[in-house]
A and B are shown apart, each in its own frame.
Chain A
Amino acid sequence: MNKATKKWLFMKASSVVLIPLMAWFILNLVSVFDKDYVDIIGFFSNQTSKILVSLLLVIAYFFSALSISEIFEDYIQDEKIKNVANKVLNIFAIITPLITIIIIFNLNT
């Protein structure tokens, strides 16, 4: 299996998981965003929310990194610039969800 096929399969597999997670997240976000601090902490401290938000972040950033690298492929011709852009993108896609997940698992009511 070549690299492009593997990338396409990863994108499709992650999008299948991402669709219900996005639907769940946006439904919950709309119901909690304007609430009090205690209610929001309560939402993120719930075990189900912790797991689903963490899963959403990991898969959303993974999917985005793959998708944005496709945009780089389409519009950046210089290989050197493209490689740097992809490296920055990948570091961002690993660090942001990782730090947020650590924070979520340290939030207590």
Chain B
Amino acid sequence: MKNNNPLSPHIQIYRWNISSLVSISHRITGIINIVALTVICFWIASLLLGENSYEFTKIFLNSILGKLIILGLTWSFSFQILSEIRHLIMDLGYGFELKVTKITGLIVIIGSFVMTVLIYLI
């Protein structure tokens, strides 16, 4: 069955600004996070195989690549948390002025990096 509803324009059509960057990054990090959670589900399942089988996973997670993946994941989760808070505030009817959307967008971008560092320091 063919639906005649218009599709959303593809991302190449937009002129890049902070709001579109945050919006597209919100979707991308959302997909990254659910893929990561699925990998974490496999990680949890692998625990059933016992301590000896876990050795390879432990070596990988302690490697530079493993640590970089966890660092990236921390940023992705941090971004999603801050961006979701921004969305909820906007849903309450606040922060729609152009200047404010730019400021809150910047807070999300910069804040996600600050939050990543803080999580590692804690």
Name A's B-contacting residues (CB within 8 A).
12, 15-16, 18-19, 22-23, 25-27, 29-30, 33-34, 36-38, 40-41, 44, 57, 60-61, 64, 67-68, 71, 74-80, 82, 96-97, 99-100, 103-104, 106-107
Contacts and interface: CB of A to CB of B under 8 A. Distances in A.
B4 to A, nearest CB: 8
Contact of B7 (A38, A57, A75): A75
A76 B74 CA distance: 31
Q: What DSSP secondary structure best describes chain A's contact surface?
A: helix
Contacts of B31: 68
Given A27-B119, A29-B70, A57-B41, A107 B48 contact: yes
B120 A60 contact: no
A15 B87 contact: yes
B85 interface: yes
Interface residues of B, number: 42
Q: What DSSP secondary structure best describes chain B's contact surface?
A: helix
A80 B2 CA distance: 8
Interface of B: 1-3, 5, 7-8, 10, 27, 30-31, 33-34, 37-38, 40-41, 44-45, 47-48, 51, 54, 58, 61-62, 66-67, 70, 73-74, 77-78, 80-81, 84-85, 87-88, 91, 119-120, 122
Contacts of A19: 81, 84-85
B122 A27 contact: yes
Contact of A37 (B27, B54, B67): B54
Contact of B1 (A16, A60, A68, A80): A80
